Amino acid sequence: MASGRMEFHARTIMQHANFAFVLPNDIEKPEVKDLRHYDRPTKSLILLHGLTGTDTDWLFGGVAQEMAIQYNLAVFMPTAGNFFYLDRGYEGGNYGAYVGRELIEYIREVFGYCQRREDTIIGGLSMGGYGALHTALAYPETFSGCIALSSALRIRDIATGVPSANVIMSEKMERDIFGDPAELLDSDRNPEVQLRTLRSAGKALPRMYLAIGTEDSLLTCNRRFRDFLAQEKADFRYEEGPGAHNWTFWNEYLNRGLSWMLS
Amino acid sequence: MASGRMEFHARTIMQHANFAFVLPNDIEKPEVKDLRHYDRPTKSLILLHGLTGTDTDWLFGGVAQEMAIQYNLAVFMPTAGNFFYLDRGYEGGNYGAYVGRELIEYIREVFGYCQRREDTIIGGLSMGGYGALHTALAYPETFSGCIALSSALRIRDIATGVPSANVIMSEKMERDIFGDPAELLDSDRNPEVQLRTLRSAGKALPRMYLAIGTEDSLLTCNRRFRDFLAQEKADFRYEEGPGAHNWTFWNEYLNRGLSWMLS
Amino acid sequence: MASGRMEFHARTIMQHANFAFVLPNDIEKPEVKDLRHYDRPTKSLILLHGLTGTDTDWLFGGVAQEMAIQYNLAVFMPTAGNFFYLDRGYEGGNYGAYVGRELIEYIREVFGYCQRREDTIIGGLSMGGYGALHTALAYPETFSGCIALSSALRIRDIATGVPSANVIMSEKMERDIFGDPAELLDSDRNPEVQLRTLRSAGKALPRMYLAIGTEDSLLTCNRRFRDFLAQEKADFRYEEGPGAHNWTFWNEYLNRGLSWMLS
Amino acid sequence: MASGRMEFHARTIMQHANFAFVLPNDIEKPEVKDLRHYDRPTKSLILLHGLTGTDTDWLFGGVAQEMAIQYNLAVFMPTAGNFFYLDRGYEGGNYGAYVGRELIEYIREVFGYCQRREDTIIGGLSMGGYGALHTALAYPETFSGCIALSSALRIRDIATGVPSANVIMSEKMERDIFGDPAELLDSDRNPEVQLRTLRSAGKALPRMYLAIGTEDSLLTCNRRFRDFLAQEKADFRYEEGPGAHNWTFWNEYLNRGLSWMLS
């Protein structure tokens, strides 16, 4: 299967931003289980890493390549630091605009993928699960779907001072990323606010798939977001299952999420 | 987990030869299921690709990273073309000497791994399964073990004109790789000859693990080699199981092979 | 500047063939000396490595990136072993068809470059200088120009038993690459034969730029080819200058060749 | 020449931090101009990128490979964002500790280089020129020398509100990187403070090489630092020459700096 890593000058984050990709354009058909996915044009999936992660995570630990083959997906995996795919408020630090707009535009220009909303999905794990939700809700005209796995949906916890179970995440680091906790709940960093804003404006929401393991410390905040989505009557699917915060869980549920979204 | 790709000037194949690697030197202990593997020094595993393959195969399709973490293994994955890891008979075309000697020496010099025979294993799939066996038997002082998955043990078939089930492999290509079929059976390209030569010289054999899926067209020739090993009373383990010539099989049986060899 | 490395399944050489690329699609205009090159569409340059080389040679030792910026060029640098970019005569070993056809078709499909003959050039150094000439003459409908630096134009020498000055190249290796010396002069591995065949068929030739250093052991055979081109009244430019077989020479004359060809 | 890119889990910046490297351990002697550099052990050079840069900058635009060959240097080129190689004050954001300590320790462990102070140098361009100076002065027991090219020595300008000539660098971005301007002059982000602190403690300073082009907007602040070093009677060399803020300048003066430092 075609694969690579490349980088380009991204203005939003003022970096030669790096991403990995797999492209199902050289697939031998016998490798594919369900050929119906090859009766349609290739769809695109942006896959986001978790905290401390990098562009190869979904390739080395995860099943990005297998999913690309089975579902006829061009998969793009950016490296974007530990900023939760959020904008820092100045040109050069806007990681949300990078993933949601500039990267997409660049992929369109160079590869021709991500052209149509119905063909463009974003997914991620942990920090990247939050990032996938937040980015899909920030750019709903770009993404028709979102797959959020073991998502770090901690906005409410951060705002109310509940410390992270992640030993990496100090209070100082959290403040550097999310800003003043007192302003967080009502900001557009809160997916609930984002969703309600889209609703008010009469805009289409992305379809949302969420999954969380029952041994994951993020279980409670994911259930809370599930309740919010149910209350909002959003088009979503939420799954819980035995599992922890690891590749065994993410690989199984990425597959389940894609199967639900693409069938 | 630490990972990378690099290349160096390899005299045996006169190329800036490329290999990928994963190194378990930055592992956070909680990721590891069985910590006993971290009570000993890191061992080394050379993993060989199949026909048409490349250094990233075991990373993108296979579980190289997971195995490295679980078993405390430094894994090195060379790219070495379609020459079955054999010597072409001139400096600049010796793919056997490259993998079995020059690459190992380079890894020793740069990384310090592969120092001791008991810490050095070679494995591979399909063409790389044959390559792992052939290389381990050609350099038995370097490798203490060998994991040969779905191995293309076709020497006898080629010698007797049985065509390959692999559509890629034309007779002309086969001749370019293996030379004159009439001379093949008695040559050191035949693992049976290699093993008997080592026995005659009183040299230690590598421990061998072989696995093959029951839906694999290579089943017959693997059973034949099993019978040979049994007859020779070699130290080996042979496993058959439901499965075909694909990553599902290779990933499961690489794990089984390592578990047997390292416990 | 945008850059990357990728690989895809190439049928001609039955490999996940690797290539590097630089793309001038994120250039900040102030970096560019002569903006007129940006008033036209981006052109494409395939750059071939020499013996023992790899896809990064023109990036790490050479000025591929600088040329890409100055001349608005998308540059693609394949890795293709030591086979002089020639076909070995079976699907799976055809390095000429790989570079001249399959790679070009793949670049067209994925990136949209190399679409028009007048926008597509091939260049190379040493073995790659021969390869650039041979490939341009084998696929004249694809390449409008060719830049052959310090080219290993040794067909006549090989045919007449003149040994290579390159210590790497043994007679056995040479035979493995070029086949029977007795059949070489009249074969299409001889650029003179290629050119005459195109002439006979009334086909357009690529424009050719050749350069060789006066301290280079390949000087004589390059002069011989210059005389042949002059005699054939081909559209070419030949330059000699102080210099040896190294990057100082290649970088200067790649620039001179591009300047001549693109102005 | 041996080269590669790798990444490892760096605690200081909580990332799978990426770096490129070239290693002169496979050099053919005829490539080398001055063989005396090969009569001593290989030295190590850390090379830092400028704003918006990445680990491949010194390879694709710069002469990292050529310097490695000529001076028998193992060169390591980290990617470290736009944070001027400074600590953000929490584990997970300490880019100074990453380059000055954790990366060095990792290189020692994996490759065995950077063992001795007298064999370890750090260099960089623009932001990386400042970074090289700041890091060498922060870890003087690690680095014996420092090569600072076209260095962004803007501490005094930032503190006094002189805007950057670099269009990328907004005031908001500058504050995100350097913190409160009012506290900057007296902080250890100011190389003058660093140097005086080392002097007071009686510690050895690194040897410093500085170069700046006369057409560079950073000329004034480099002259100011030169005057400071002269006043402090530090062991340094300062060079000015025709040139701007580009690779032509950096490549020439990296060579001059290494020649001065290593002869």
The burial of B167, by beta-carbon neighbours within 10 Å (0-12 exposed, 13-18 middle, 19 or more buried), is given as exposed
What CA–CA distance (Å, rounded) separates A41 from C142? 28
User: Over the stretch C14-56, which tens digit does the pLDDT of each residue have?
Assistant: 999 999 999 999 987 767 888 899 999 999 999 999 999 999 9
Query: Which residues in D lie closer than 8 A to residue B3 (C-beta atoms)?
Result: 6-7
Chain A CB contacts of C112 under 8 Å are: 112
Nearest to D51 among A14, A79, A170 (CB): A14
Interchain pair A176, D90: CB under 8 A? yes
Q: What percent of chain B has pLDDT over 70?
A: 100
Q: B214 is written with which tokens? A: 């029951």
How close is the nearest chain C Cα to the Cα of A56, in Å? 13
Q: List chain C residues with pLDDT less than 70.
A: 30
Q: How far is CA A59 from CA A126, B3, B80, D19, D30, in A?
A: 16, 12, 21, 19, 41
Cβ <8 Å between B173 and C90: yes
Q: What pLDDT is stored for residue B30 in this prediction?
A: 67
User: Best interface-test mutation with B: which of A22, A60, A63, A245 has the largest number of B CBs within 10 A?
Assistant: A60
Q: Within 10 A of D163 (CB to CB), how many other CB atoms are there?
A: 12
- Find out whether D21 and D77 touch, Cβ atoms under 8 Å: yes
- What's the confidence (pLDDT) of residue C169? 87
Which residues numbered 170-199 in C keep a CB inside 8 Å of some CB on B? Answer: 170, 172-173, 176
CA distance B128 to chain D (A): 24
Give residue A96's identity as a one-letter amino acid code.
G
pLDDT in tens, B166-181: 878 899 999 999 999 9
Model ipTM? 0.95
| Residue A29, pLDDT above cutoff 80 | no
Contact B8 D28 (CB under 8 A): no
Residue of C25, C70, C65 whose CA lies nearest to D60: C65
Cβ–Cβ contact D22 with C under 8 A: yes
* Overall pTM surpassing 0.80 (yes/no): yes
Q: What is the pLDDT of residue C263?
A: 86
B212-260: pLDDT as tens digits: 999 999 999 999 999 999 999 999 999 999 999 999 999 999 999 999 9
Average per-residue pLDDT in chain B? 95
Q: Does D2 touch chain B (CB under 8 A)?
A: yes
B74 chain-D contacts, CB cut-off 8 A: none
Cβ-nearest to C59 among D1, D59, D247: D59
Distance CA D11, CA D14 (A): 5
Min Cα–Cα distance to chain A from D219, Å:
24
Which chain B residues are Cβ-neighbours of D3 within 8 angstroms?
6-7
Q: Mean of the per-residue pLDDT values for chain A?
A: 95
| C175 Cβ contact partners less than 8 Å away, ≥ 6 residues apart | C181
Q: Which of B1, B7, B21 sits opposite D2 (nearest CB)?
A: B7
Q: Which of D55, D60, D70, D250 to mutate against chain C (most C CBs within 10 Å)? A: D60
Q: According to the model, what pLDDT value does residue D13 have?
A: 96
For residue C53, what is the nearest residue in chain D, using CA coordinates? D1
Whole-angstrom distance, CA of residue A39 vs CA of residue A29: 12
pLDDT in tens, A165-204: 887 889 999 999 999 999 999 999 999 999 999 999 999 9
Would you call A7 and D91 a contact, using CB atoms and an 8 Å cutoff? no
From chain B, the residues in CB contact with C78 under 8 A are none
Q: What is the mean pLDDT of chain C?
A: 95
Share above pLDDT 90 across residues of chain A, in percent, rounded to a whole number: 92
Q: Which residue in the set A31, A59, A246 is minimally distant from B60, CB to CB?
A: A59
Contacts of A49 (CB under 8 A, 6+ apart): A55, A57, A58, A77, A79, A80, A124, A125, A127, A128
Distance from CA of A87 to the nearest CA of B (A): 28
Residue to test with chain B: of C6, C7, C12, C16, most B Cβ within 10 A = C16
Which strand (E) or helix (H) includes residue C55?
A: none
Q: What is the pLDDT of residue C187?
A: 97
Judging contacts by C-beta atoms under 8 Å, the chain C residues touching residue B57 are 16
Q: Is any Cβ of chain B less than 8 angstroms from the Cβ of A244?
A: no
Check residue A75 and report its DSSP letter. E
Which tokens in the block code for residue B48? Answer: 């060989």
CB pairs under 8 A between A and B: 26
Does the distance separating the beta carbons of D81 and A15 come in below 8 Å? yes
Against chain A, the chains showing at least 3 CB pairs within 8 Å are B, C, D
Cross-chain residue pair A65–B60, CB shorter than 8 Å = yes
The confidence score (pLDDT) of residue B92 equals 93
Residue range B191-216, pLDDT digits in tens:
999 999 999 999 999 999 999 999 99
pLDDT of residue C30: 67
Q: How many CB atoms lie within 10 A of CB A223?
A: 15
What's the pLDDT at A17? 96
Residue of C60, C166, C167, C216 to mutate, testing the D interface (most D Cβ within 10 Å of its Cβ): C60
- Alpha-carbon gap: C81 to the closest alpha carbon of chain B (Å): 7
Report which secondary-structure segment, H or E, holds A79. none
Determine whether the interchain pair D8/B26 forms a contact, defined as Cβ–Cβ distance below 8 Å: yes
Q: Do B52 and C14 touch (CB under 8 A)?
A: yes
Amino acid present at D20: A
Q: How far apart are alpha carbons D258 and D263 in whole angstroms? A: 8
Given this model, what pLDDT does residue C128 score? 98
End-to-end CA distance of chain C: 23
Whole-number pLDDT of residue D217: 95
pLDDT digits (tens, 9 = 90+) for A126-141: 999 999 999 999 999 9
**8 Å CB contact of C60 and D22:** yes
Contact A5, A40 (CB under 8 A): no
CA distance, residue C20 to nearest chain A CA (Å): 9
Q: pLDDT tens digits for chain D (263 residues)?
A: 999 999 999 999 999 999 999 999 998 776 788 889 999 999 999 999 999 999 999 999 999 999 999 999 999 999 999 999 999 999 999 999 999 999 999 999 999 999 999 999 999 999 999 999 999 999 999 999 999 999 999 999 999 998 888 878 899 999 999 999 999 999 999 999 999 999 999 999 999 999 999 999 999 999 999 999 999 999 999 999 999 999 999 999 999 999 999 98
Contact C7 A3 (CB under 8 A): yes
Residues 36-55, chain C: which have Cβ within 8 Å of B? 51-54
Q: Is D63 on the interface with B (CB under 8 A)?
A: no
- Which pLDDT value is given to residue A213? 98
